[in-house]
């Protein structure tokens, strides 16, 4: 079956377990890209995928789930704030706090991390957030830092007033926060393309649940290598048993 072959390509490239998002969603993504390429059938599209890394990347862009919002699940950010206040601020000799957000999607998570650290009392030169995602489209939106109302859910009025400016096109994040986040294109299954730094804190939420077993193991190995001894790792609420 052609779709099964395409799913195998996705599994090899990004570790996607197709059952986690459903065959229908993958089929819709395949059809969207086939039509965009102007190809007559799936067999021809498969040949295109097998010979064009650019088209495989475009299919990945169509398949990956980009929905996110600022301060998604408040608990990790509350814990992060308490940790910084109790463990980091009292020690003036600590080096720069290094944090990784992977995958960072359209930027809401790493920017939420930065706002949390600023609210906790750190200055912009006391921390650095690296943010990595496989989607170039998502990274473009993240760097632009212009968001719609859909990126704000729950009680976020305080942060909106402090860090965002409302424009005709949406809510624009202030430069103070933007300057603390470094965005980079990367694949968690391609460690050579990722940062070689060690991090005090890593956010890797809502990724592991989409990976097949072997890819999940490789991802966890990489996170373990990147995390400092006694560092903090935040995963999604559905991933604690992964």
pLDDT band at 240 (very low <50, low <70, confident <90, very high): low
Across residues 215-232, what is the average pLDDT? 93
What is the C-alpha to C-alpha distance for residues 192 and 176, in angstroms, rounded to an integer? 30
Residue 207 in contact with residue 188, Cβ under 8 Å?
yes
For residues 33-47, give the mean pLDDT: 92
The pLDDT tens digits of the residues spanning 79-97 come to 999 999 998 888 878 789 9
CA–CA gap between residue 182 and residue 104 (Å, rounded): 11
Report the pLDDT value the prediction gives residue 192, as an integer from 0 to 100.
72
pLDDT, one tens digit per residue, over 149-179 is 999 987 766 777 789 999 999 999 999 999 9
Q: Which CATH class is domain 74-234?
A: alpha beta
Radius of gyration of the chain (CA): 19
Query: Encoding tokens for residue 150?
Result: 């859909």
Q: Six-digit token pair at 237?
A: 């609420």
- List, in order, residues 6 or more apart from 172 with CB less than 8 Å away: 145, 146, 147, 164, 165, 166
Which residues touch 169 (CB under 8 Å, ≥6 apart)?
146
The pLDDT, as a whole number, for residue 237 is: 73
Sheet holding 127-133, edge to edge: 181-185, 127-133, 97-101, 199-203, 227-234
Residue 145 backbone class (left: φ over 0; alpha: ψ -120 to 50; beta: rest): left
Can you tell me the distance from the alpha carbon of 85 to that of 122, in angstroms, rounded to the nearest whole number? 9
Tell whether the model's pLDDT for residue 195 goes beyond 80: no
How far apart CA 198 and CA 228 sit, in angstroms, is: 6
Is 70 exceeded by the pLDDT of residue 193?
Answer: no
Prior bond to 103 cis, omega within 30?
A: yes
Q: What average pLDDT does the structure give for the chain?
A: 91
């Amino acid at each position: 079956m052609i779709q099964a072959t395409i799913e195998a390509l996705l599994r090899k490239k990004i570790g996607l377990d197709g059952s986690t998002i459903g065959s229908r969603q993958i089929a819709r993504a395949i059809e969207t890209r086939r039509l965009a390429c102007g190809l007559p059938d799936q067999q021809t599209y498969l040949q295109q995928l097998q010979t064009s890394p650019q088209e495989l990347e475009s299919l990945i862009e169509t398949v990956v789930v980009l929905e996110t919002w600022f301060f998604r699940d408040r608990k990790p950010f509350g814990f992060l704030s308490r940790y910084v206040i109790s463990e980091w601020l009292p020690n003036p000799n600590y080096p720069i706090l290094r944090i990784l957000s992977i995958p960072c999607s359209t930027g809401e998570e790493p920017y939420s991390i930065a706002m949390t650290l600023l609210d906790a009392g750190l200055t912009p030169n006391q921390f650095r957030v690296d943010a990595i995602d496989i989607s170039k489209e998502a990274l473009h939106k993240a760097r632009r830092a212009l968001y719609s109302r859909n990126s704000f859910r729950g009680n976020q009025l305080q942060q909106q007033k402090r860090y965002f400016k409302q424009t005709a096109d949406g809510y624009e994040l202030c430069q103070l926060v933007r300057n603390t986040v470094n965005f980079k294109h990367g694949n968690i299954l391609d460690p050579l393309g990722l940062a070689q730094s060690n991090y005090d804190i890593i956010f890797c939420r809502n990724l592991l649940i989409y990976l097949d077993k072997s890819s999940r193991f490789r991802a966890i190995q990489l996170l373990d290598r990147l995390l400092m001894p006694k560092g903090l790792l935040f995963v999604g609420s559905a991933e604690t048993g992964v």
